[in-house]
Structure 1
Amino acid sequence: MNKNPGGVAATFAGTYEAGDAWLATCSAHPVLVRAAWEDELLAPIASGIGWLVAETQLVFGMPALARIREADRSPVLADPESDTAWWLVPLDAAEDLDDARHVKVHAPGWLLRCPPTGWQVDGRFWLARPDGSGRLTDPTVLAAAFGPGGGARLSSEAPA
């Protein structure tokens, strides 16, 4: 008798559904988000309802992600073709990331075009998937991951 109906696939499907449900509720139009995913399209979700978006180049984001303990990782979306990574950060993170090298925080209302958590769409995929918990990247941890000294710019460097 199988004590785990569906096995590993069912576990992953549940994890993906929790992440998808959370992402959809971060939109003013969750039904439209789900409809886009049903049609295998990226869903535009405006920042500012549940999170802001911190954008980095993927070439800098991958090493930064590796520096963050797995227990502290939260949603990171990647687009290898454009060499871009987007980190979901708290609504008050802009000031904390103001001096972080290679990180640009977008203003509320900026549209992040998201695939569902379980598969890639148009080359975009989640490096660290939303798990439904609503956990976001701690801006202090993110700044520290972008380099020595917390990722802060040296006083001789010009802002990016």
Structure 2
Amino acid sequence: MAAQPARALRNAGQEWLLSCALHPADAQHAWDTEAFAEIPAGPYWRVVEAPLTRSVEAIHRIGPDRLGPVLGDVYREVAWWLLPPHLADELDDVRPLTVHPAGWVLTCPPVQRSLAGRWWIESPDGSGQLTDPLLLGAAFAPGGRPSRETFG
């Protein structure tokens, strides 16, 4: 029984991700042929790149209820976090984060499965929830734990 709600969330997450693509049919075709879909950052979210190991630690620090989608690549040892599209300079001074500009293309596998070492560490769930940049910055800051003030 527990698999059905999880599967429904993955399906909703995949539909949401497709809705963010410029050409959803092309993205679906890529996944159907075991290729990555190319989805540019922009109106729906921005992408922040970080080392994979530190990202896994940050995921635990932030907690599951406050996370948006996080894509990982075991071969490149990199993770990509999806953050709100209005991201300004909140993370400019946080090492080792790289904020990619609107239009930067995220090459991603489908939500339901991994592809060539790339998988959704935290899958999109269809809600459109994204990680708060202040929480991400706090999780990567020295000491690495968001304070109570960060949570509001």
The question of a shared fold, defined as TM-score above 0.5 by the shorter chain, is answered with yes
Match of 2:73 among 65, 75, 79: 79
Looking at structure 2, the residues matched to 65 and 19 of structure 1 have their Cα atoms a distance apart, in angstroms, of: 18
Q: Work out whether 1:14 is the aligned partner of 2:5.
A: no
Give the corresponding residue for 1:33.
27
**How do residues 52-131 of structure 1 correspond to structure 2 at under 5 angstroms?**
52-131=46-125
Structure 1: gaps of 5 or more residues? 1-6, 152-160
TM-superposed CA distance for 1:59, in Å, is 2.3
> SS at the partner of 2:68?
coil
Letter in 2 for 1:135: Q
Letter in 2 for 1:68: I
**Bigger radius of gyration, 1 or 2?**
1
Looking at structure 2, the residues matched to 97 and 78 of structure 1 have their Cα atoms a distance apart, in angstroms, of: 19
Letter in 2 for 1:21: E
- Conserved 8 A contact 1:58-1:84: yes
- Conserved 8 A contact 2:58-2:144: no
Looking at structure 1, the residues matched to 126 and 27 of structure 2 have their Cα atoms a distance apart, in angstroms, of: 15
Looking at structure 1, the residues matched to 88 and 26 of structure 2 have their Cα atoms a distance apart, in angstroms, of: 28
TM-superposed CA distance for 1:149, in Å, is 6.5
Number of residue pairs aligned between Structure 1 and Structure 2 = 145
TM-superposed CA distance for 1:150, in Å, is 7.0
Looking at structure 1, the residues matched to 16 and 131 of structure 2 have their Cα atoms a distance apart, in angstroms, of: 15
> SS at the partner of 1:55?
strand
Give the corresponding residue for 2:36.
42
- Conserved 8 A contact 1:44-1:114: yes
Looking at structure 1, the residues matched to 39 and 29 of structure 2 have their Cα atoms a distance apart, in angstroms, of: 13
- Conserved 8 A contact 1:19-1:132: yes
> SS at the partner of 2:28?
helix
Structure 1, 53-62 or 136-145: larger mean CA deviation: 53-62
CA offset digits 1:46-84 (Å, max 9, x no partner): 010210100011122111111112110110000011010
Give TM-score scaled by structure 2 length.
0.89
- Conserved 8 A contact 1:79-1:125: yes
Looking at structure 2, the residues matched to 120 and 56 of structure 1 have their Cα atoms a distance apart, in angstroms, of: 19
TM-superposed CA distance for 1:86, in Å, is 0.1
Give TM-score scaled by structure 1 length.
0.85
- Conserved 8 A contact 1:75-1:136: yes
Deviation beyond 4 Å, 4+ runs, structure 1: none
